[in-house]
Amino acid sequence: MLSFGSWNSRFKIGTRITAGFVIVLALLAGVAVSGVLGLSGASHSFQEYADESAASGKVAQADRDFVAMRLNIQFYFDKGEEKVLARVRELGNDVRNGYAAVLASSTSKEQQAMVRKVLDQFEQYVRTFDDAVRVQAEQIKTTNEGTIPLGNKLRSELKELMQTAASENDLALASQAGVAMEQFLWGRINGLQHNFNRNPKLEEAARAQFVLLADTLKKIGEAARTPERKEKLQQMMKSMAAYTTSFEATMKLLAERSRLLEAENRLSTAMIASRGEVKKSQDANLAATRKASESDISSAMTMSIAAAVLALVLGIGLAWIIARGITRPILSLSSVMRAISGGKLDSEVAGVDRRDEIGEMAQAVLVFRNAGLEKVGLEQAAEQQRQAAEAERARNEAAQREAARQVAQVVDGLGRGLERLAQGDLTYRVQEEWAADYRKVQDDFNAAIGQLQDTISNIALSSSEVSSAAAEISTSTTDLSQRTEEQAASLEETSASMEEIAATVKKNAENAQHANQLAQGTQEIAGRGGAVVAEAVNAMARIEESSRKISDIISVIDEIARQTNLLALNAAVEAARAGEAGRGFAVVASEVRSLAQRSSQAAKDIKDLIVGSSGQVQEGVELVNRAGQSLSEIVESIKNVADIVADIANASSEQATGIDQVNRALNQMDEVTQQNSALVEENAATAKTLEEQQAAMNQRVGYFRFDRAGVASHAPAPSVRKPVPQMKATAQRTGRGGPVGRMQSNLAIALNADEEIAEF
């Protein structure tokens, strides 16, 4: 019977490890299945809990949207802005969509019934709000198109009645009209306050004031004496009836809106209670779901721990068995391999007959041992081949040293030649004997140096010829410059004299023209002065007429102030009769009377001042007339002076014209001279540049050394410069320098800058 070790060696290591891992994986799969089953139940519980939480969040969001909707509704009914109404509609849609989502996610019929109840209450709330919006729109329309225009019309009619009574000095009618106006205004004020405060007492007070107003208008109509006034009062009664009808319609709409708002509040309270029931149901479902999730998680953990412990025990046992069957034979092979690596090639290799990977390793170790034996024989043969290769390498190194010596000789010769060339020596030639491979390089280098020497020699000859030509150009330029200078001096003196004469004549002409302009200006000023005096006379007359009209107006104002004083006195008497109700009118009448007295006194003072100013205006008219006569005489005298000055200005202008023509001819001659001078200056600059370039070329050519015998035989003879006698200028320089003088100075500077030209 085979032992466990022999039976174990019949299988591959991979097969044994695979079998062990398969068993462990099977155990792990069991653990995983157990965990998945437990987690599946927990996941289902968690999903239910998440759904309940999401539904609870949706309810909370819908509650927040509903609260915001109520706040915006209140703000809309206070302000009536359309953008607030749009926000209310938007929040209403959010609330409706939120509860619809909660209804869709609800699983129990009881909870669905609760949510449907909330939705029904909300829809009823929205319909009530829409009715309230419609009623408020009708109320605003009735107020803006009926109550307010009719009230303004009735107020205008009452105001017109008061003004008519005051103008006719009918104090009784004015007093009754004032009472009617007061009753109407108090009625409107009470109605407006009721619109904001919703106080029934204010509504009743407004109606009471309108009843009193109707009685007052009726009494005024009965006391009317003219058909026109009776007709106006009948129209006022109709306006009063129309206003009262519109007011009652407005009050009815306000009451309807208040009823709808109260219904909204009741529905809102009912919705709050229904939402509380939904919230309680959601909290109960969340608690039950959480308890079920905890139970599923506990069961899954127990099963997972048991399966994991079983898998751990079996895995450790299989690992020990598989490891023991692999490590023992590998340790034996390891000792044999260490012996072979130490040089002991006669060691015995065990396990060659095994059929697993360890047997294959033993066979490989056996191959290594046999290869070591062969390696010893190969090393001896390799030593013999190494000695033969060493002799061949020595021969190759000798040939390389000879080639390096020849290259060094060529590089050294070329280096010396290039160094001499860099120093400007063109007489150097390579005279050494180079190897046959480098003989052509030697001949080409020597030929290049010879060709360069010939080129530099020709450049030196050309430079000498350029120097001679530049000297001749400088001599001619100097002679031309002296002649141009003499001509320029003569023209400058003549031009200066003509400029002085022209300036004098021009100054006289300008003075005469200026005097003519001053005379004309004085004449115009005197004429304008006469016109101003005439206008002043007319203005004085108009002022006198205006003073008279103002005096008449002041008389009218004085009469109005007197009548106002009487009306204020009558109003004070009527206010005193009215007692406590007329106290305010008494104060106003007292103030009006005081203002009327002050207006009368001010009108009297203004009238006295206007009477005094009328006499002063009359005296001013006489003085202005005499000033106008004097200005007319001055204008005539200035006109004669202006004619004489104009004749002088014309004569001076003709003289200046003739001198300008002569001066233009001299300027043309001066321009020609300037052009000649410019040409001379260009020639001088060209000659100087040519000599500078020739000197630079000589300096560069002088850097090279070569055989100068051939160059000297071809060099031209130097030119002899003839001295040019100094010529005295026939004209004296003036102190004033013109363009010609500046050109001569520049030319002299250019000529003196050249050392060779300066010798002359």
Q: Is the pLDDT of residue 740 over 50?
A: no
Q: What percent of the chain has a predicted confidence (pLDDT) above 90?
A: 0
Side-chain-side CA neighbours of 744 within 13 Å: the count stands at: 21
Confidence band, pLDDT 50/70/90 cuts, at residue 60: low
Confidence band, pLDDT 50/70/90 cuts, at residue 269: confident
Return mean pLDDT, the chain: 70
The DSSP code sequence of 443-503 is HHHHHHHHHHHHHHHHHHHHHHHHHHHHHHHHHHHHHHHHHHHHHHHHHHHHHHHHHHHHH
Q: Which of 357-366, 597-606, 649-658, 746-755 has the lowest mean pLDDT?
A: 746-755
Confidence band, pLDDT 50/70/90 cuts, at residue 754: very low
Q: Span 511-520, mean pLDDT?
A: 72
Residues sharing a CB contact under 8 Å with residue 625, sequence separation 6 or more, in sequence order: 533, 537
**702: burial class by Cβ within 10 Å (0-12, 13-18, 19+)?**
exposed
Token pair of 361, please? 């390793």
Confidence band, pLDDT 50/70/90 cuts, at residue 560: low
Q: Is the pTM of this model over 0.75?
A: no
Residue-range domains of the chain with CATH: 17-315 (1.20.58.920), 467-681+724-755 (1.10.287)
At 132-185, the pLDDT tens digits run 778 777 877 877 788 888 888 888 888 888 888 778 777 778 788 888 888 888
Token pair of 76, please? 């809309």
Residues sharing a CB contact under 8 Å with residue 480, sequence separation 6 or more, in sequence order: 680, 683
Which of 19 and 52 is assigned the larger pLDDT? Answer: 19
Q: Which of 281-290, 359-368, 411-420, 437-446 has the lowest mean pLDDT?
A: 281-290
**149: burial class by Cβ within 10 Å (0-12, 13-18, 19+)?**
middle
Q: Which of 36-40, 463-467, 536-540, 655-659 has the lowest mean pLDDT?
A: 36-40
Q: What residue type is 722 in one-letter code? A: K
